[in-house]
A and B are shown apart, each in its own frame.
Chain A
Amino acid sequence: MADLIQYLIIVPLAAAFLIPLFAKKARWLCQVLAQAGVLIITALSFAIALYVKDGLTLIYNVGRWPVPTGISLVVDSLSAFMLVISNFVMLVIVLYSNSYIKKYSDTWKHYSLLMMVVSGVNGVLVTGDIFNLYVFLEIASIAVYALFAFGLRKESFEAAFKYAVMSTVASTFVLLGIAVLYSYVSTLNMAGIASALTAKEQSGSVIKFVTVLFLMGFGLKAALVPFHSWLPDAYSESPATVPAISSGILIKVLGVYTLGRILFNVFGMQPAVSHILLALAVMSMVLGGIMAFGQTNVRRLLGYSSISQIGYIFLALGVGTKLALVGGLFHILNHSISKSLLFLNVGLVEDHPDMAKKPVNAFTALAGAMSICGVPPTGGFWSKLIIIIACIEAGHIALAFIAVVVSIFTIAYYFRALTPVLFSQGKAAEARPGAKGMPFSMGFAVILLAVISVASGVVLMPNAANALLTGAVNILIGGTGYASAAMGALR
């Protein structure tokens, strides 16, 4: 089983390389290649998730070099949980883009860049080596710079340049942090770093400095509030699939997962750091919610809503109890599904204005919005409820109060955004000349995501998904025990 981990990176990279080769000869082959590649890695990540859900750790040594010399790929429950979410969302988005992307020229570039993003994201999730993590982070980021500029309009270039500059500076801070860390512990393996830090008696100031560098770097990728300004701009002018990917996958994997993995499993969570996380989380929640009110563009509104919801996830990480982490990881799942659903809905309406009030689009958009607002039967309600209960349990009454108030805010601005689009009595917009009805793949994609976003509360009942979620929480709770798990499986 461990030998299969490498294919999570190899398959999308091979697809990204093969798509340009076939682009001129057979355009249909590009779509088939992309779809097949994503299908393979989605199936693979589900299989791996089933295998590791009971707390196993899979290790693959690249090139058969043993660990202090070589690079190891490590998959535990936390990685598997994120792998399943990100690859599944990507599968749906590639399915959707089969019809959506037709209005652009050079569609193969879109597919090729998408595959590059997938391999970067999977690489970040499976790697056990901190410099390797940086390399895959950059691969995913560089592909996304190009994707944000894909609309070829004035604004999209401006947004892409802004994001590229900010994100590159953030990556440089991450690299500086890795260099300082390496000069301190003389190893790049994350498990090795964790055990070396435990062995050193006092590692105060260096680790504080590195933590701050990582908070800046990964915080920008996660769009936490002082570092958030790229996000609404970048979302407002690009093909609708790109904000769906960025909001559904990238800010979670490149920001939340990396920070969670490094702060909890490599450094061990310090009270001071969790206070910083709580402060950043509250700022993100409140400011994202307030800024979303003033928006007239629905994409910018969804972008600010993403910032606000990322705040909830970091609130859970900052509280750091077992219940809070269940809520936080579950909120990652819900927000990935429902925010990508909403962006796909936006893309649908922009393409087919007459679709806005059709039941398929209206009800799926409503399901996504309900899940993000936290209306009872949907998954988003349960995750927010768990986070708020965990806040109260841990004695953070004020934080719980703020979380409830922001949640009410969220309902208010989603009502403001969706009511005129979906339920006004005005006559339906004219169909664009030559536009046929909604293509099957787009309809299927939004319905699939809508069903999951309503029914994802099932994860909380005892079943395989619940075992995976609990396993992922146990990895985070276990702290630097990650080192012995990853090292123990090696021997």
Chain B
Amino acid sequence: MVTYILCLMLFCVGLYCVLRKRNLIKIIIGIGIMGYAVNLFIILAGYRAQSRAPIYANDQIVARMVDPLPQAMVMTSIVLELSVTLILIAIAIRIYEKYGTFDITKINKLKG
């Protein structure tokens, strides 16, 4: 139970970072933290007490193993997060070239 609460706290830290920070790079880091928290949650959802990795071998009998599907999901979601982070950083670099700052309060050409 404590693990789940810590996982939720990590998610909230990421969300706070996205909502409150003024720096584009810190916002991107916040998105990363949120993603890690969700990935951790998916792994936790597949955990079974007292069990081992879901790897079959010829001479072994695995009695209890963790759910392998969430681990496959996490692989996919890590790749997606990587590509999102890449494109966010690319846009942030171009914003820095145009505006000369990472401060979102100074990047305010669009209103209304």
Name A residues whose Cβ lies closer than 8 Å to a Cβ of B: 131, 134-135, 138, 142, 145-146, 149, 152, 154-155, 157-162, 164-165, 168-169, 171-172, 175-176, 179-180, 182-183, 186, 188, 232-233, 236-237, 294-295, 300
Q: Are A161 and B88 in contact (CB under 8 A)?
A: yes
B69 touches A (CB below 8 Å): yes
- Binary contact readout B42-75 vs A (1 if CB under 8 angstroms, 0 otherwise): 1001100000000000000000000101100100
Q: Are B94 and A172 in contact (CB under 8 A)?
A: no
Name B residues whose Cβ lies closer than 8 Å to a Cβ of A: 11, 15, 18, 24, 27, 31, 34-35, 38, 41-42, 45-46, 67, 69-70, 73, 76-77, 80, 83-84, 87-88, 91-92, 94-95, 98-99, 107-110, 112
Which of A131, A145, A159, A188 sits near B87, CB closer than 8 Å? A145
Q: Are A188 and B69 in contact (CB under 8 A)?
A: yes
Q: Are A179 and B91 in contact (CB under 8 A)?
A: no
Which of B27, B67, B69 sits near A165, CB closer than 8 Å? B27
Q: Which residue of B lies closest to A297 (CB)?
A: B112
Known: A157-B94, A233-B110. A168 touches B24 (CB 8 A): no
Q: Are B112 and A164 in contact (CB under 8 A)?
A: no
Residues of B within 8 Å of A237, CB to CB, are 110
Mostly helix, strand, loop or mixed at chain A's interface? helix
Give 19 A-B pairs besides A161-B95, A182-B69 with Cβ atoms closer than 8 angstroms.
A142-B84, A145-B84, A154-B99, A160-B91, A161-B24, A161-B88, A161-B91, A164-B91, A165-B31, A165-B88, A175-B38, A179-B45, A179-B73, A180-B45, A183-B46, A188-B69, A232-B112, A236-B110, A294-B112
In the bound assembly, the distance between CA atoms of A158 and B108 in angstroms comes to 8
Q: Are B45 and A131 in contact (CB under 8 A)?
A: no
Residues of A within 8 Å of B88, CB to CB, are 145, 161, 164-165, 168
Known: A169-B18, A176-B38, A179-B42. A158 touches B84 (CB 8 A): no
Q: Are A172 and B38 in contact (CB under 8 A)?
A: yes
Q: Are B76 and A168 in contact (CB under 8 A)?
A: no
Residues of A within 8 Å of B45, CB to CB, are 179-180, 182-183
Min distance, Cβ B42 to any Cβ of chain A, angstroms: 5
What are 24 A-B contacts with C-beta separation under 8 Å?
A138-B80, A142-B84, A145-B88, A155-B110, A158-B95, A161-B24, A161-B92, A161-B95, A164-B84, A164-B87, A165-B31, A168-B84, A168-B88, A169-B31, A172-B31, A172-B34, A175-B38, A175-B42, A175-B77, A176-B41, A179-B42, A182-B70, A186-B67, A294-B112
Residues of A within 8 Å of B76, CB to CB, are 131, 135
In the bound assembly, the distance between CA atoms of A131 and B73 in angstroms comes to 8
Which of B35, B92, B107 sits near A172, CB closer than 8 Å? B35
Min distance, Cβ A150 to any Cβ of chain B, angstroms: 11
Known: A161-B24, A161-B88, A179-B42. A300 touches B112 (CB 8 A): yes
Min distance, Cβ A192 to any Cβ of chain B, angstroms: 12
In the bound assembly, the distance between CA atoms of A232 and B87 in angstroms comes to 21
Q: Are A145 and B91 in contact (CB under 8 A)?
A: yes
In the bound assembly, the distance between CA atoms of A157 and B70 in angstroms comes to 35
